[in-house]
Structure 1
Amino acid sequence: MTEETGRERAPSERTRVRRYNWLARYDRKTVEDILDATPLAHVGCVMDGVPFVTPTFFWREGDRVYWHGSVAGRMFKALEHQDICFTVSLLDGLVVARSAYNFNCNFRSLMLLGRAELIRDEALKAEKLRNFVNGLIPGEWERLRPIHQREVKVTAMASLSIAEASCKMRVGPPLDDEEDYSFPSWAGVIPIRYQVLPPEPDPRNPPGTEMPEDILKFHLG
C-alpha cells in the first residue's frame, strides 16, 4: 500500500499516476471491471515515425486482452517492435461546478503498457475469434456461416498482458473553492450512461428468420 493513494502500488514507475494521483487505482478487480465494461479500446503506437492511435474492438481472456484486424494493416506490422499503449475510457457524467475552472467529469479510464504478441497460428486465431463473438452474444459463433480458412488467413490478431496497468476514476459532486459554495449558480452532476437499444433486423433477412434470444443478452458494463 502507498501513502500516495492508500491502494495497491503501481506495477511500474511508468504506470504510476502523478497528476491527480488520489484518483489512481491499480488493483486487478478495477482493471478487469473497466476492461469488461466496453468492447472499444484505442491502441497507440509509432508507425513510420509518427504516433497513431487506432480505435479497435477488443476482448479480455484472463490476464490478456486481444484484438484483431487486417494482416495488411500497418499497426500489426509495427506492434512487435515496440512497447505500445492500450487505453479504455468511459464517461460517466458531466460535473457542473460553480466556476469554469472547476468543471470536471466523472469517468473510468485504464492504460496498459507493454509489448504485444502477434498470434500467427490459424487454429488459435479461429479459436480466439470464436471466443470474441460468443463473448458478445452467447452461442452466436455456432449460428453463423462457418468461417472460411482464407478469412482466418487474412485476419491479424494480437494480445497484450494486463500486468502493467493503471486506472483513474472520478465519482461524486463538483469540488469548488470554498468561497464559491455560496455563489448562486447551480452545481451538480449530469449522469451519462451508455444505452443498448432494441435490436433492428436487417431488411435483407430471409423471410421467417427469427432473432435468437441470445441477441437480447448483449450488454455493456
Structure 2
Amino acid sequence: MTTLSPAGLSPTERTTVRRGRNRAVTDRDALHDLLADGLVAHLGVVVGDHPVVLPSAYAVDLDGPDDGGTLYVHGSVAARWLTTATDTTVCVTVTELDGLVLARSGFHHSMNYRSAVVIGRARLVVDDAERVRALDAIVDHLAPGRSATLRPATRKELAATAVLAVPLREASMKARAGGPVDEEADVAAGGWAGHVPVRRVLDPAVTAPDAVGPVPAHVVDRVATPPAPQQPADAPA
C-alpha cells in the first residue's frame, strides 16, 4: 500500500489521475479544504446488477478512526443502497463549480472546478458514540454549531438511521481555474472569450411560521460568511 505523508495526497493505483494530469492536485490540505467547502457528496455503489450514484449530506473527521481520516454519509436503515454498500468498495465524489469557461470554439469550452474522488471500503458505524458524533458532524457541516442547540436524537431516530464511514486514504483531486485556452488561429481571428465566475450565495434565513425567537447566531453567521471559491494557482489547460 502507498504510504501517505501528513500533508501529501499520493494516490494509489485506483486514484491515480491519468487524463488531464496537469490539473491534478497533490496537496492533501487542498482536499481537506474542498471537503470543508462542499455541501453534497455523491456516493457510487453497485446495487444488484447496476450501479447507483446518490447525493448525500456528509461530514469529515480528519481525526477519525479510519486511515487518513473519515468521511461519513448517512441514510435510512431500510435503504437498499446503504445496506449494499456496507463492507464493499465505494466511490465518493465532491465537486464545487467555480466558473464557466467560454472559449472561441466549442471544443475548448470548459468549467472551473474543484473535484475530489475518494475510494474505499465502506464501514457500517456500529459504535453508538461514534454514530452520534458522525450525525452531529453532518448537521454541523451544514450549519456549524447547530448540533449543540438541538435536543438529543431519540432511540427511535437512531435506530432508523445508518451511518457509513469511508476512509480518506485513497483520494485524488483535480482543479481548473482561469480563462479559456484557445487555438492560436482562433485567437487571431478575433471574437470574445472569457470565463464567468460562479459562487454559492446563502440568502438570509426564512423563519418557520411556528418558530419561536430570533434567528440563532450560528445561522446568521452561516449566512454572513459563505465559503469563497478557492482558486488553484495552476494555469488553465
Q: TM over 0.5, yes or no?
A: yes
Deviation of 1:38 (Å): 1.2
Residue 134 in 1 paired to residue 151 in 2? no
The amino acid of 1:57's aligned partner reads: A
1:60-99 maps to which residues of 2 (within 5 A)? 60-62=60-62, 63-99=69-105
Q: Distance in 2 between matches of 1:21 and 1:49?
A: 32
| Stretch deviating more after TM superposition (55-64 or 135-144) | 135-144
Q: Distance in 1 between matches of 2:70 and 2:26?
A: 16
> Which runs of at least 4 in structure 1 moved beyond 6 Å after TM superposition?
none
* TM-score normalised over the length of structure 2: 0.84
1:18-97 maps to which residues of 2 (within 5 A)? 18-62=18-62, 63-97=69-103
Identity of aligned residues (%): 35
- Match in the other structure for 1:3: none
SS at match of 1:36: helix
Gaps of 5+ in 2: 1-7, 63-68, 229-237
| Stretch deviating more after TM superposition (120-129 or 105-114) | 120-129
Residue 187 in 1 paired to residue 196 in 2? no
Q: Distance in 1 between matches of 2:87 and 2:15?
A: 20
Q: Distance in 2 between matches of 1:172 and 1:33?
A: 19
The question of whether the paired residues in 2 share the 8 Å contact of 1:98 and 1:183 is answered with: no
The amino acid of 1:34's aligned partner reads: L
- Match in the other structure for 2:216: 212
Q: Distance in 1 between matches of 2:116 and 2:145?
A: 29
Deviation of 1:217 (Å): 2.2
Deviation of 1:136 (Å): 3.3
Residue 155 in 1 paired to residue 157 in 2? no
Alignment CA distance shift 1:216-1:9 (3 Å): closer
Alignment CA distance shift 1:150-1:9 (3 Å): closer
Deviation of 1:156 (Å): 0.3
The amino acid of 1:112's aligned partner reads: V
* TM-score normalised over the length of structure 1: 0.90
- Match in the other structure for 2:125: 119
- Match in the other structure for 1:164: 170
Q: Distance in 2 between matches of 1:174 and 1:145?
A: 50
1:51-89 per-residue CA deviation (whole Å, 9 max, x = no partner) reads: 000100001110211111100011221112421110011
The question of whether the paired residues in 1 share the 8 Å contact of 2:145 and 2:218 is answered with: yes
SS at match of 1:35: helix
- Match in the other structure for 1:174: 180
1:187-220 per-residue CA deviation (whole Å, 9 max, x = no partner) reads: 00011111111111111224xx221111122233
The question of whether the paired residues in 1 share the 8 Å contact of 2:60 and 2:137 is answered with: no
Deviation of 1:178 (Å): 1.1
- Matched length: 212
Q: Distance in 1 between matches of 2:87 and 2:218?
A: 40
Q: Distance in 1 between matches of 2:150 and 2:86?
A: 32
- Match in the other structure for 1:108: 114
The amino acid of 1:48's aligned partner reads: G
